[in-house]
Copies of this chain bind each other. A is one copy, B any other.
């Protein structure tokens, strides 16, 4: 299942996304940034791949990862829309209230 919220809910995955947004990095380079084991980070990478947020490129014994910026951007846009609408609801309510002619009613 595709779940952007799940992907970004973990701080290690968010940091990983930041790291691979600067440049393509190998798995061991990434591991060096955390205090977790290589298999543990591999699982985080697997989740990011599963959510289609990063690419994996094999070159010899190295494995390079980088951000799929367009995909991340699309998901981020949707998230902004969803969360943004939660914030805007009150404004919409206020707008509706002002536009209706019930200004004399209570509360």
Contact = CB atoms under 8 A, between A and B. Distances in A.
A98 interface: no
Interface stretch (A16-24, A30-38, A56-64): A16-24
Nearest to A14: B82
A27 B14 CA distance: 34
Chain multiplicity (copies): 2
A67 interface: yes
Interface residues of A, number: 27
B9 A93 contact: no
26 contacts: A5-B5, A5-B8, A5-B9, A5-B10, A6-B9, A8-B83, A14-B82, A14-B86, A17-B86, A18-B86, A18-B89, A21-B86, A21-B87, A21-B89, A22-B89, A22-B93, A23-B93, A67-B86, A69-B87, A69-B90, A72-B86, A72-B87, A76-B83, A76-B87, A79-B83, A80-B80
Interface of A: 5-6, 8-10, 14, 17-18, 21-23, 67, 69, 72-73, 76, 79-80, 82-87, 89-90, 93
